């Protein structure tokens, strides 16, 4: 039964991956990757119950946080083309 | 037994919503409307699957961890959606709008 | 002022330690010792970063917060059903995307952010831009935009979230 749910999540991940590959704009790709990451968290949680070792839930927990930080970091890199903040830029100029 | 059935219903509904959201991100025409389809999989789908797993776990540490995952997703997914939409708007990506509506800007 | 900060640091440490115990689930001296060291490091770093302030300690949240969560879950479920219907209606265009400015009554930063997050959490509406007086939202349908403009959710947020 858990297998059916994980197959459903895998199909969703495949659809998200297809959007990440085809998506016309960069933002489509990032949104798809964000969705892919959320599904990965759920997949790990389901696999934890499928295999019976609930320690895997810790990994899902950490993945949820890393996914968010990763998406925001990728977004910042795409919009600003660099990683130093605008305040730092101004200070360098002055 | 009742709890088992409820848990399976939640898990299947969650999986189904995930697939529907996945179809949605291919069906909708532009980035902003795709964000709404991705929102389905981030909210109700994730909630139902985590709730279904929590019913399987009962009152254990595993249920506490599932609740924690739920709280993290609950706080981070709207923030990520807002950041994406905001960045896209500021980069000049124009949404496709229904022009004859009320209060519409180009 | 200094005393309050100290009290907050101690209660923060106690909370973090409780968190550690719940996450690890082991009560051996070695692992509890690791927990004490990690908590001390986390509190030290938080003090250095100056993040122990009134926003990270939302004691001014209303006691009606659970009622707000019940309301927001209901809204999420309703909005999900609506968007799912629109995805599955195959022929023709079922959506009418809108960009609308919604006024914000919340005066505090926290209130505004909670309102914007509540808008984004319900599928069908995404907050795009947040300024002092308005939130620009992208709505999937005209009905969703009109429902938000009617202001029920704004009322819920201002009545049930923050104690002014």
Q: pLDDT, tens digit, for every residue of C126-159?
A: 888 888 888 888 888 888 888 888 877 878 777 7
For residues C39 and C91, state if they share a domain.
no
Select the more confidently predicted residue: C139 or C52.
Answer: C139
The number of distinct structural domains making up chain C is: 2
Average pLDDT over residues A60-72: 91
Residue range(s) defining the domain that contains residue C152: 65-160
Q: Which of B51, B53, B71, B89 to probe the A interface (max A CBs under 10 A)?
A: B53
Residue of C nearest to B48 (CA): C77
CA B93 to the chain's CA centroid: 23
Q: Of B8, B33, B10, B11, nearest to B21 (Cα)? A: B33
Would the CB atoms of C121 and B78 count as touching at under 8 Å? yes
Q: Do C102 and C150 touch, CB atoms closer than 8 A?
A: no
In this predicted complex, what is the ipTM?
A: 0.85
B102: confidence class by pLDDT, cuts 50, 70, 90: very low
Same domain, residue pair C36 and C91? no
Task: Identify all chain A residues contacting B14, using CB atoms and an 8 Å cutoff.
Answer: 5, 8, 42
Q: Cβ contact (<8 Å) for C101 and B103?
A: yes
Q: Is the pLDDT of residue C62 over 60?
A: yes
Contact yes or no for C142 and B65 at CB 8 A: no
Residue C98 lies in a domain: yes
- Report CB contact under 8 Å: B66, A45: yes
- Crossing angle, helix B61-90 and helix A56-80, to 10 degrees? 10
Query: A51-60, B68-77, C57-66, C118-127: which has the minimum mean pLDDT?
Result: C57-66
Nearest chain B Cα distance for residue A47, angstroms:
11
User: C34 and C78: one domain?
Assistant: no
Q: Can you give the pLDDT at residue C130?
A: 85
On whether residue C80 sits in a domain, the answer given is yes
Instruction: Return the partners of chain B (3 or more C-beta pairs < 8 Å).
Output: A, C
In a domain, C104, yes or no: yes
* pLDDT at residue B103 greater than cutoff 50: no
**What pLDDT is attached to residue B106?**
36
Instruction: Report pLDDT for A47.
Output: 92
Burial category of C110 from C-beta neighbours within 10 Å (exposed 0-12, middle 13-18, buried 19 and up): middle
Residues C45 and C113 in one domain: no
pLDDT of residue B19: 92
Q: How far is A90 from chain B (nearest CA, A)?
A: 20
Average pLDDT of every residue of chain B: 85
DSSP string, chain A: -HHHHHHHHHHHHHHHHHHHHH-SSHHHHHHHHHHHHHHHHHHHHHHHHHHT-TTHHHHHHHHHHHHHHHHHHHHHHHHHSSSS-HHHHHHHH-
Sign of CA dihedral C16, C17, C21, C26: positive
- B53 vs A45: CB contact, 8 Å cut-off? yes
**C146: how many CB neighbours lie within 10 A of its CB?**
15
∠ CA C32-C35-C38, rounded to 5°: 160
C139 φ, ψ (degrees, to nearest 5): -110, 140
C29 plus C101 within the same structural domain: no
For residue C102, which phi and psi values (nearest 5 degrees)? -115, 130
B50 touches chain A (CB under 8 A): yes
Q: Kindly report each contact of residues C108-114 with a partner whose C-beta sits within 8 Å and lies 24 or more positions away, as own/partner.
A: C108/C162, C109/C55, C110/C55, C110/C58, C110/C162, C111/C157, C111/C158, C111/C161, C111/C162, C114/C157, C114/C161, C114/C162
pLDDT at C163: 64
Distance between CA atoms of residues B2 and A80, nearest Å? 53
**Same-domain check for residues C111 and C149:** yes
- Asked if A66 is an interface residue toward chain B (Cβ–Cβ < 8 A), one would say no
Is the model's pLDDT at C31 over the cut of 80? yes
Higher pLDDT, residue C57 or B18: B18
Chain A: residue whose CA lies nearest to B93: A25
């Amino acid at each position: 039964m858990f297998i059916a749910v994980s197959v459903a999540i895998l199909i969703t991940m495949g659809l998200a991956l297809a959007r990440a590959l085809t998506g016309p704009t960069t933002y489509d790709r990032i949104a798809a990757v964000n969705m892919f990451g959320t599904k990965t968290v759920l997949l790990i949680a389901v696999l934890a119950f499928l295999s019976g070792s609930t320690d895997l839930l810790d990994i899902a927990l950490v993945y949820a946080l890393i996914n968010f930080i990763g998406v925001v970091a990728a977004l910042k890199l795409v919009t600003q083309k660099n990683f130093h903040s605008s305040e730092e830029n101004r200070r360098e100029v002055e | 037994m009742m709890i088992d059935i409820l848990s399976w219903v939640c898990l299947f509904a969650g999986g189904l919503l995930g697939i529907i959201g996945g179809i949605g991100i291919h069906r909708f025409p532009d980035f902003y409307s795709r964000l709404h389809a991705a929102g389905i999989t981030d909210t109700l789908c994730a909630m139902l699957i985590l709730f279904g797993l929590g019913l399987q776990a009962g009152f254990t540490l595993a249920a506490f961890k599932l609740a924690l995952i739920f709280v993290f997703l609950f706080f981070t997914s709207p923030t990520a959606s807002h950041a994406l939409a905001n960045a896209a708007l500021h980069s000049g990506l124009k949404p496709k709008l229904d022009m004859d509506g009320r209060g519409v800007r180009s | 002022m200094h005393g309050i900060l100290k009290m907050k640091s101690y209660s923060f440490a106690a909370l973090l330690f409780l968190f550690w115990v719940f996450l690890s689930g082991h009560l051996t001296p070695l692992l509890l010792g690791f927990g004490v060291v990690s908590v001390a490091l986390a509190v030290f770093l938080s003090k250095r970063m100056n993040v122990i302030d009134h926003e990270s300690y939302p004691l001014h949240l209303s006691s009606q917060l659970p009622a707000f969560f019940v309301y927001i879950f209901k809204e999420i479920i309703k909005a999900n059903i609506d968007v799912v219907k629109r995805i599955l209606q195959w022929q023709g265009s079922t959506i009418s995307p809108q960009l609308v400015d919604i006024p914000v009554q919340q005066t505090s930063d926290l209130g505004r952010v909670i309102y914007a997050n509540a808008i984004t959490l319900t599928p069908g509406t995404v907050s795009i831009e947040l300024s002092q007086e308005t939130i620009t939202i992208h709505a999937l349908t005209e009905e969703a935009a009109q429902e938000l403009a009617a202001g029920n959710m704004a009322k819920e947020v201002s009545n049930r979230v923050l104690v002014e």
